[in-house]
């Protein structure tokens, strides 16, 4: 840990000549805040700007005329702000700074006075000393076993048997970081996992930490299920999260960035460019950047502006050379502009990968750095004293009072407006920020010093995804092309199959992204939209995109006169605004849009198509574990079932009637539906395995999901383990379970797999005395899924598909498969090699090869 994170208060040597100023290094993560002498920024008066003191010449500075913005050089791209000028397919919505090899003290600081002098938060990192894989090095924690029986007449389970949800999530994000440290991965993929870590942590602060702070502020002191008070939990989160951020930045600077340099992607500071490169960026700034910027003065006569969440900003201190007054200004780095600018002596590059693939190097300069180097253009006649990047994270969790709103849609639109002004929950600043500048930001943002994080640039790792999107094959995963699922086509063909005929021939199990989404689910809806025999389409939509072929197919179907119903979940977190936009477009073409149910999110993944055939009406169904989103279907591992089984068709008809109308007494044949029957249905099957084991019958439980925190199901699994039933769990994210605890969970194994594809499917397998009972669906084992969402699990009945799913989960928790394993002390340990040092099986590589082997002539090497 860095000194600035110690619990004690340490005096450090003053960095100014003023003996009355003492700098104090605090243990709250904020660095140096609150010097003995407060630094104030002064108000500007008209005379400061419109009256020149006698004896002084006019102010010197850059003053542009309209003609200055005319293109006068062929070296500046002929494009407009907002177009992707630097990266052909990069995400330009998150500007960030990537400073190259330079001393941290040079971090956009124009003088060295009164900087805090704190060390970089770079300490010994865990990749230098990974946790031991030996079980004996992870002794189980000691739990307190209470006396007596519970309400079911069973011995009470021990206290402390549940891990904390938030700390478990941080452990998951640490596994994401560890995935970035795998030297066997291609360089840009390792970088990509760092961006995933950063994006995950942003959302964690916006939702989970924000909610925790709200409970503390409201005086709600109820302990969590793990026994921690809200304040204890917040302290642990702060320490762990800031420690992880420090590790990630150290790893990027010490491991990733040097390798980027070696491969021709040189992240550099503006000052490191050649004079020719600087001239090109001067022209680029004048033509493409300067007109978009809006510097805002902040002083007693100019209120502190609203700082939008996750935006990148410059805190700028300027001095009037005649009056000597200092002023604070804020410059927002526009998200509409490219965040990284590739430049050479030839100018700003539209396709930098052409040079890199040819063996040449390209300089990449962060947009924020270009702006910082041209601040004298924004403040002509003023002295630029110092400038520092900062970034604020705000509470962006939505709270919709549905019962009091005339419609969910109206309530959501109003709440989205309120979200913009959520309170700040984290402030990230670059390391060189002066004490008085940081103190000014802390006061005006209303944030606690413990929520301030000093980091080396870049503050926002997500912007590095622009580099990942470059077309550099040697630095990325080898492309994988999904294949058409078995059961839909015997051979690959450019001609679409008759998907309705294929489904009539038998249930089709889909496994994305190994099986193509476009030739299965997407093709089903496209064919249905244009098939004159299709009468109606009913569809749930949780996350998708407005330009999605799924949405377009529904619009085409409605315009063709078909009955189309879309159950749109506009409360899908962080997709709310987009969902409202394209849902209104659906309404405009005649789609019957239903905005979910009051009090419940509609999270189930269902599609029902009604078709007139020679022998009468037939209903075609799709039940899945993932969203109807073509893009994420290429990166998320998910399952789906295509069927025209009459029982499933009747189940989906009843469920859609529940969602769009009134059908409270509905019962189902092959579905378990939350919030009514999933928890009870799963507990019933767990208890059946316990009874079968007692009777000497075959009994085991094998589960795969994203998260588990539900106490009822967790305790049922503990009871099964106590009874001797083998319990195997593959979990990607949050896990409240503790495995390997004597007397509680010694028969339980918990593994986690992270890889090229995001493990997203949910599979629930039970031995059932030799006749496996297998279900797939949309629900994780969390309170929100089981109590506050409409979720659906479907029973798989085809023996071959049952066997495939059981084998999939069995392989996922096998000791021969590379994974993280949960140890008895609660630590996750990664296993990549066996005892002889040989690589363990990568299950995703195996599944890709298996799918590709179905395509004649495809190269598998």
Q: In three state form, how does the secondary structure of 801-813 look?
A: HHHHHHHHHHHHC
CB 776 within 8 A of CB 753: no
Can you give the C-alpha Rg of the chain in angstroms? 29
Spell out the alpha helix ranges (H) of 252-358.
257-262, 275-284, 352-357
CB 762 within 8 A of CB 741: no
Rounded distance between C-alpha atoms, residue 397 and residue 204, angstroms: 10
Q: Three-class SS of residue 502?
A: helix
Rounded distance between C-alpha atoms, residue 128 and residue 598, angstroms: 51
User: How many Cβ atoms sit within 10 Å of the Cβ of residue 799?
Assistant: 10
Q: Which residues pair with 777 in a beta bridge?
A: 762, 793
User: How many Cβ atoms sit within 10 Å of the Cβ of residue 742?
Assistant: 10
CA 315 to chain centre: 27
b/e per residue 28-43 (b: at least 16 CB within 10 A): bbbbbbbbeeeeebbe
User: How many Cβ atoms sit within 10 Å of the Cβ of residue 545?
Assistant: 17
CB 327 within 8 A of CB 297: yes
CA 41 to chain centre: 38
CB 460 within 8 A of CB 495: no
Rounded distance between C-alpha atoms, residue 839 and residue 113, angstroms: 53
Given the DSSP bridges, would you call strands 616-624 and 636-643 parallel, antiparallel or unpaired? antiparallel
Rounded distance between C-alpha atoms, residue 647 and residue 797, angstroms: 12
Q: Sign of the CA dihedral 738, 742, 745, 746?
A: positive
Rounded distance between C-alpha atoms, residue 140 and residue 582, angstroms: 51
Rounded distance between C-alpha atoms, residue 468 and residue 180, angstroms: 13
Q: Residue 731 is encoded by which pair of tokens? A: 């979990």
Residue the block writes with tokens 């029902």? 608
Q: Sign of the CA dihedral 461, 115, 451, 313?
A: negative
Rounded distance between C-alpha atoms, residue 524 and residue 516, angstroms: 12
Rounded distance between C-alpha atoms, residue 212 and residue 234, angstroms: 7
User: How many Cβ atoms sit within 10 Å of the Cβ of residue 84?
Assistant: 15
DSSP 64: -
CB 706 within 8 A of CB 780: yes
Catalytic residue among 249, 377, 388, 603: 603
Q: Sign of the CA dihedral 826, 191, 83, 455?
A: positive
269 is catalytic: no
DSSP 226: T
Beta strands in 395-533 (DSSP E): 424-430, 452-455, 508-512
Give 105's contacts (C-beta < 8 A, 6+ positions apart). 112, 115, 432
Q: Which residues have a catalytic role annotated? A: 603
């Amino acid at each position: 840990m860095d000194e600035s994170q110690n619990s004690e208060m340490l005096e450090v040597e003053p960095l100014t000549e003023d003996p009355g100023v003492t700098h104090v290094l605090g243990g709250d993560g904020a660095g140096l805040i609150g010097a003995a002498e407060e630094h104030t920024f002064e108000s500007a008066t008209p005379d400061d700007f419109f009256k020149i003191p006698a004896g002084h010449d006019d102010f010197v500075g850059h003053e542009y005329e309209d003609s200055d913005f005319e293109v006068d050089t062929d070296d500046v791209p002929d494009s407009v702000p907002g177009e992707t000028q630097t990266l052909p397919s990069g995400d330009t919505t998150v500007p960030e700074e990537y400073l190259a090899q330079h001393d941290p003290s040079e971090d956009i600081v124009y003088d060295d006075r009164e900087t805090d002098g704190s060390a970089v938060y770079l300490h010994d990192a865990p990749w230098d000393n990974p946790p031991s894989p030996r079980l004996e090095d992870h002794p189980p924690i000691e739990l307190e076993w209470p006396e007596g029986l519970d309400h079911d007449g069973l011995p009470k389970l021990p206290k402390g048997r549940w891990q904390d949800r938030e700390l478990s999530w941080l452990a998951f994000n640490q596994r994401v970081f560890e995935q970035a440290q795998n030297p066997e991965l291609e360089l840009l993929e390792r970088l990509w996992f760092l961006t995933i870590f950063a994006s995950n942590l942003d959302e964690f602060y916006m939702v989970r930490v924000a909610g925790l702070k709200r409970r503390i502020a409201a005086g709600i002191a109820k302990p969590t299920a793990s026994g921690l008070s809200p304040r204890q939990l917040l302290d642990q989160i702060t320490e762990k999260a800031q420690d992880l951020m420090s590790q990630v930045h150290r790893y990027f600077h010490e491991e990733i960035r040097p390798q980027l340099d070696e491969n021709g992607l040189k992240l550099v500071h503006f000052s490191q460019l050649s004079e020719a490169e600087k001239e090109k960026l001067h022209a680029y700034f004048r033509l493409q950047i300067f007109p978009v910027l809006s510097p805002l003065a902040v002083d007693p006569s100019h209120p502190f502006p609203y700082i939008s969440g996750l935006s990148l900003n410059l805190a700028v201190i300027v001095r009037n050379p005649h009056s000597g007054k200092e002023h604070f200004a804020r410059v927002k780095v526009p998200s509409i502009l490219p965040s990284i600018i590739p430049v050479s002596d030839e100018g700003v590059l539209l396709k930098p990968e052409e040079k890199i693939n040819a063996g040449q190097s390209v300089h990449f300069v962060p947009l924020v750095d270009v702006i910082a180097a041209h601040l004298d253009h924004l403040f002509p006649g003023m002295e630029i004293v110092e400038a520092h990047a900062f970034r604020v994270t705000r509470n962006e969790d939505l709270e919709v009072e549905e019962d009091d709103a005339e419609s969910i849609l109206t309530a959501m639109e109003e709440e989205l407006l309120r979200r913009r002004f959520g309170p700040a929950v984290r402030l990230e600043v670059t390391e060189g920020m002066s004490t008085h500048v940081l103190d000014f930001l802390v006061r005006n943002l209303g944030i606690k010093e413990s929520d301030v994080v000093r980091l080396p640039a870049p503050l926002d790792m997500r912007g590095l995804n622009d580099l990942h999107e470059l077309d550099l094959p040697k630095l990325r995963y080898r492309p994988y092309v999904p294949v058409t699922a078995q059961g839909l086509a015997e051979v690959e063909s450019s001609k679409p199959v008759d998907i309705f005929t294929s489904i009539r021939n038998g249930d089709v199990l889909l496994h994305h992204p190994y099986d193509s989404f476009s030739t299965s689910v997407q093709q089903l809806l496209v064919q249905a939209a244009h098939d004159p025999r299709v009468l109606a389409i009913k569809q749930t939509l949780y996350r998708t995109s407005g330009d999605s072929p799924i949405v377009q197919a529904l619009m085409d179907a409605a315009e063709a006169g078909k009955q189309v119903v879309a159950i749109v979940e506009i409360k899908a977190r962080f997709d709310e605004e987009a969902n409202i936009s394209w849902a209104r477009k659906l309404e405009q073409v005649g789609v019957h849009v239903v905005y979910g149910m009051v009090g419940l999110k509609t999270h189930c993944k269902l599609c029902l198509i009604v078709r007139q055939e020679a022998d009468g009406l037939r209903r075609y169904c799709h039940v899945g574990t993932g969203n109807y989103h073509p893009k994420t279907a290429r990166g998320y591992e998910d399952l789906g079932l295509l069927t025209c089984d009459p029982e499933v068709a009747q189940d989906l008809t009843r469920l859609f009637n529940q969602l769009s109308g009134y059908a409270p007494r509905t019962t189902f044949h092959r579905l378990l539906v939350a919030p009514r029957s999933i928890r009870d249905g799963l507990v019933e099957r767990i208890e059946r395995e316990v009874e079968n084991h007692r009777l000497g019958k075959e009994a085991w439980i094998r589960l795969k999901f994203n998260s588990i925190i539900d106490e009822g199901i967790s305790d049922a699994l503990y009871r099964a383990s106590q009874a001797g039933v083998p319990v195997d769990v593959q979990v990607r994210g949050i896990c409240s379970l503790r495995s390997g605890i004597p007397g509680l969970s010694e028969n339980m194994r918990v593994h986690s797999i992270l890889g090229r594809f995001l493990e997203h499917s949910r599979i629930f397998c039970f031995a059932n005395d030799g006749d496996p009972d297998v279900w797939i669906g949309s629900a994780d084992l969390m309170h929100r899924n089981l109590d506050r969402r409409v979720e659906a699990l479907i029973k798989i009945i085809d023996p071959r598909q049952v066997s495939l799913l059981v084998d999939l989960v069995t392989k996922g928790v096998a000791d021969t498969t590379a994974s993280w394993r949960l140890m008895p002390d609660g630590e996750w340990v990664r296993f990549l090699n066996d005892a002889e040092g040989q690589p363990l099986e990568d299950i995703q590589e195996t599944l890709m090869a298996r799918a590709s082997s179905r395509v004649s002539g495809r190269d598998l090497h």
